[in-house]
Structures are given as C-alpha cells and as structure tokens.
Amino acid sequence: MARYNSNQQVGTALAAIILAAGLGTRMRSAQAKVLHALGGEPIIARTTRAIAALGPRPLVVVVGHQAREVEAAARRASPHADFRFTIQEHIRGTGDAARSAMAAIPKSFDGDVLIAYGDMPRVRIDTLRAFLSEHRRRGAALSLISVTLDDPAEYGRVVRDAAGAVDAIVEAKDASPAQRAIREINTGFYLASRRFLDAALAEITPENAAREYYLTDLVAIARARGAKVEAWLSDAPAEFAGINSRKELAEMEAEIRQAVNAKLMAAGVTLVDPATAYIGEQVEVRADCVIGPNVQVLGKSRIGAGVRIEGTAWLRDVTIGDRCHLKLGVRAEECVIGPDCEIGPFANLRAGTELEGQNRIGNFVETKKARIGRGTKASHLSYLGDAIIGRETNVGCGVITVNYDGYDKHQTQIGDRCMVGCDTQLVAPVKVGNDVYVAAGTTILRDVADGALAMSHHPQRLKAGWTAGWHKRHQGRDRDGKSAAGTEED
C-alpha cells in the first residue's frame, strides 16, 4: 500500500461519499429530496454521474429516506460505479452521515475521500477533477470548495483568520451578525485523507443551534489539530447551488432547460417556442429538427436529423429516425421509430414498439410491444399489442389485437402485404400469413394461410321498405320515448 504523500498525484487511491439520506424538510414533500425530478431525472442521478466519473472505489451513498428508490436511481445513473450503500438510521446531521459512510470503505483503503451532498446536481466533472488535483498539490489535510455569493442566504459561512487562512465554517443559523455578513460560503465538497477523516469525524458533537452533527465542524477540528485547511474558491457559483426548496428546484430546472435549449439551437435545432421545450440533458437531437411548442423529450432519447415534432408531445427513451414527422399529440416511451415515419395526431406508442421505417401510425392508435415492418400503416383507431406485423401491410381502421385473456398476454402475427379490413379483431395467439386479405368486421380466431381471404360475415339480410313500417308502428311518439304531446312515457 502506497503511503499517503501530498505530492503524489498518480497512484493515490480515491473513494467518494455522497450524502443523500435526508428527507429535505424544506421541500415539504413525502418524497426524499434527491428523488425529485430535475431535467427529467432524479436529482441524485446527476450528482452521482458527476462523482462516478472520477472513478472512486468505492462510491458510498448514504441513504435513509426511500433508501431503495434512491439506490435504484443512483445505480441507473451510473451502472458501472463501484457502489456501496449505507443506511443512516437516524437523520442526525451531515457529520453523522459521513461517519456512517466511512464504515463502508474497506479498512485497507488508505487514500483520499471526496465527500459531497446529494442535493448539488449541477457540479461539473472537470471542476471536481481540478479540485482533486489542487487538493493534492497543496497538500492540505482538508480541502473544500467555496464560492462568493451576493446573497449568501442559508449557506455555511467560511470564516477566515487575520492571515486569511480558513478557520471555521459557521452555519447561518449559528452565525453572529458579523459572520452572517460573510459572502464566501461552503459549497459542500470536501477532500481529505481517510486517516484524517476517521480521527476527525469521531470528534464532531451536536453542540449547535440545530442539535445536529455538522460535517462542517471538520474545519475547526483540523485547525485545532494544527492541520492545514484549504478553501478552493471557485468562480462558477451556479455549479454549487444546492436544492432545498421547490422554488430552488424550479429555478434550477429553468436554468438547465435554458442551457440545453441554447446548446440545441446552436447545433441547428429549431425550437419554435424555447419557453415550452422541455428537453433532457441526456437527449441527443440532430440538426434541422423542428420542435414545436409544449414538447417534452426525456431520458436517453435520440432524435434523428430533420425530424419534425408539431407540438404537445411527451417522449421518453425513444429513438426516432431521420425525417420522421410527429403530428400533434404523440406520447411515446421506450420505442424505436425508424426513418421517414408519420406518427399521430394523437398516437400512443408504448414500451417495446419498434417501427422499421416509412410507417404511418395515425390518430387514436395505441401500440405496445409491437414490431412493425417497413411501410406498414395503421392509420386510425387501433390497438396493436404483442404483435409482429410484416412489411407493406395495411391495418384498417379499428383493428384490434385481442391479446389478453385475463391471465396471460398472447401474440398476434401478421405477414407482409396484407390488407386487414376495418373493425377486425385478431384473437391471439394467432398467425396471419403473407398477402392475406381480411374482410371488414372479421373476428380472426384461427391461423390464416398465405394468400387467403378471411371473413366471418353472417350473410347480410335485407327487408325492403322496413323503415317506413317501423315509424308507422311508432306513430305519435318522438324518438326519445316522449309522446308527441310532451308527457313522459313509462
């Protein structure tokens, strides 16, 4: 094991801790703060991604409120991170949370530990890299990132001594009026050696206004031991804004959205109304797309070149091929849409929909786990679930795959170049071959061979002149059951 050496840049191991156990009282929510959505994903996902990019081993996340959900969100954000999750049983403060995390770092680990708060989702990976190398270069026992704010609000104040050395962090609620006037604040990113942390965390006591174990007391503890503390003053305060309230969440959402939109527009995407374009940071949009008003594109969606989205759409984790046209009112989730498709207006493409390309999915069509071949169309009022449909097939108006028997879902297969007549029901499991014609109004119960015509019509009967006789039998009454005199019939 390499002994810790402040000049040693390469080879010093790094572990990291993210504190995310709190409920976030100021959010006034039953949901843990770090699970609230920001830019289309939980707050914790963004924090985790930035820190995981440094490659810490391990990356310990302290969880408490909604522990399972927070863990799942972190894992989803950084599937390759070397995670450990520890539960903080009682939310007794950031110092207590950090102490519980240290127990999850193997005894043999003797490197540096980065500690961060889960509610700081805007920090950039380059900033953290610079912080790490600066900490190692300066050889401090403890480093933290500070910023200067015009309004230091409720952040912890960085108190310096006469020589300008960092002396303490004082929480706003514990600060004297003079300390409250200090504009340099603690962002909540710390670096120290494992050895320092093991010793110093044990000394934190809850002697303060909040009766909490403050992680920030590490600074005074280091000073009392005569150890060097460095505050690395960053010039990018926006990166370190913490989210404590719904108002701060909404403000950050707007900032992120503006930044994403500006980047997209610079890259050749038209946003008809940027104020109502809600596009996640992980989304890729190619040049010459036109995105209309009131559109949400979330998750890991990819939108090809020249795609037109008319407006009022909700898209998550979708891949949309070049030149597709999404008409007003499309909802699509976990779908792959090939090039040159025309979708909507008012279409619902659910998870597992795969369109090969040149497809038309028209108004009031719902698809789910449906693999649809090139050129196939379903233009109106259909449900296509658990279906495999070939190429160049026409699915008529009102066609329904009857996929559910109350216990299991069953599959429908339809071949290439079929004409499936209007109002057909296909009772799955069932297979329709290639080049099949299905007459309108048919209920398909059994497989249909290639090239056949399927129909289940009763012969149509006719009674000439019947209508006139019907009205005659009802003479004196109007059609809603009232007598012509206006009195209710029984």
Task: Report, as residue numbers or ranges, the catalytic residues.
Answer: 380
Q: Is residue 152 involved in binding ligand UD1 (CB under 6 A)?
A: no
Pair 394, 420: CB distance under 8 Å: yes
Interaction site with Ca ion (CB under 5 A)? 119, 242, 244
CB of 204 to Ca ion, least distance (A): 18
Pair 329, 347: CB distance under 8 Å: yes
Q: Which is nearer to ligand UD1, 186 or 294 (CB)?
A: 186
Chain centre distance of CA 181: 39
Q: Which is nearer to Ca ion, 13 or 23 (CB)?
A: 23
**For residue 59, which amino acid is it?**
L
CB of 170 to ligand UD1, least distance (A): 9
Pair 36, 249: CB distance under 8 Å: yes
Per-residue binding string, ligand UD1, 204-243, x by CB under 6 A, is: ----------xxx-------------------------x-
Please, which of residues 153-182 interact with ligand UD1 by CB under 6 A? 155-156, 169, 171
Residues in the chain: 490
CB of 95 to ligand UD1, least distance (A): 7
DSSP output for 144-204: EEEEE-SS-TTSPEEEE-TTS-EEEEE-GGG--HHHHT--EEEEEEEEEEHHHHHHHHTT-
Strands (E), 404-459: 412-414, 419-420, 425-427, 430-432, 437-438, 443-444, 453-454
Q: Which is nearer to ligand UD1, 208 or 394 (CB)?
A: 208
* Contacting residue, 12, 186, 296, 442, with ligand UD1 by CB under 6 A: 186
CB of 444 to ligand UD1, least distance (A): 56
Contacts with 224 (C-beta within 8 Å, 6 or more apart), sequence order: none
3-state secondary structure of 278: strand
CA dist 97 and 212 (Å) reads: 11
Q: Which is nearer to ligand UD1, 173 or 471 (CB)?
A: 173
CA angle (473 as vertex; 468, 477 as ends), nearest 5: 100
* Contacting residue, 39, 56, 188, 321, with ligand UD1 by CB under 6 A: 188
96 is in the binding site of which of ligand UD1, Ca ion, none (Cβ under 5 to 8 A by kind)?
ligand UD1
Tell me the residue number closest to ligand UD1, measured at CB. 156
CB of 153 to ligand UD1, least distance (A): 9
CB of 28 to Ca ion, least distance (A): 15
CA dist 447 and 429 (Å) reads: 9
C-alpha torsion angle, residues 241, 188, 11, 228 (rounded to 10): 130
How many Cα atoms within 13 Å fall on the side-chain side of residue 20?
A: 37
Count of chain residues binding ligand UD1 (CB under 6 A): 29
Closest CA to 190 of 242, 233, 127, 132: 132
374 is in the binding site of which of ligand UD1, Ca ion, none (Cβ under 5 to 8 A by kind)?
none
Per-residue binding string, ligand UD1, 65-94, x by CB under 6 A, is: -----------------------x--xxxx
Q: Which is nearer to Ca ion, 47 or 296 (CB)?
A: 47
Q: Which region among 4-12, 17-25, 291-299, 383-391 touches ligand UD1 (by CB under 6 A)?
A: 17-25
CA dist 36 and 246 (Å) reads: 9
CB of 332 to ligand UD1, least distance (A): 33
Please, which of residues 112-131 interact with ligand UD1 by CB under 6 A? 117-119
Chain centre distance of CA 278: 12
Closest CA to 384 of 403, 358, 357: 403
Pair 351, 366: CB distance under 8 Å: no
Q: Which is nearer to ligand UD1, 245 or 443 (CB)?
A: 245
196 is in the binding site of which of ligand UD1, Ca ion, none (Cβ under 5 to 8 A by kind)?
none
Pair 444, 430: CB distance under 8 Å: yes
Q: Which is nearer to ligand UD1, 118 or 362 (CB)?
A: 118
Q: Which is nearer to Ca ion, 19 or 395 (CB)?
A: 19
Please, which of residues 458-487 interact with ligand UD1 by CB under 6 A? none
CB of 47 to ligand UD1, least distance (A): 8
Please, which of residues 243-302 interact with ligand UD1 by CB under 6 A? 244
Q: What one-character DSSP code corresponds to residue 409? A: B
Q: Which is nearer to ligand UD1, 33 or 369 (CB)?
A: 33
- What CA–CA distances, in Å, run from 48 to 21, 62, 136, 249? 14, 12, 22, 17
Per-residue binding string, ligand UD1, 436-455, x by CB under 6 A, is: --------------------
CA dist 480 and 490 (Å) reads: 12
CB of 169 to ligand UD1, least distance (A): 6
219 is in the binding site of which of Ca ion, ligand UD1, none (Cβ under 5 to 8 A by kind)?
none
Contacts with 11 (C-beta within 8 Å, 6 or more apart), sequence order: 2
* Contacting residue, 41, 96, 333, 366, with ligand UD1 by CB under 6 A: 96
Binding site for ligand UD1 (CB under 6 A): 19-22, 34, 62, 88, 91-94, 96-97, 117-119, 155-156, 169, 171, 185-188, 214-216, 242, 244
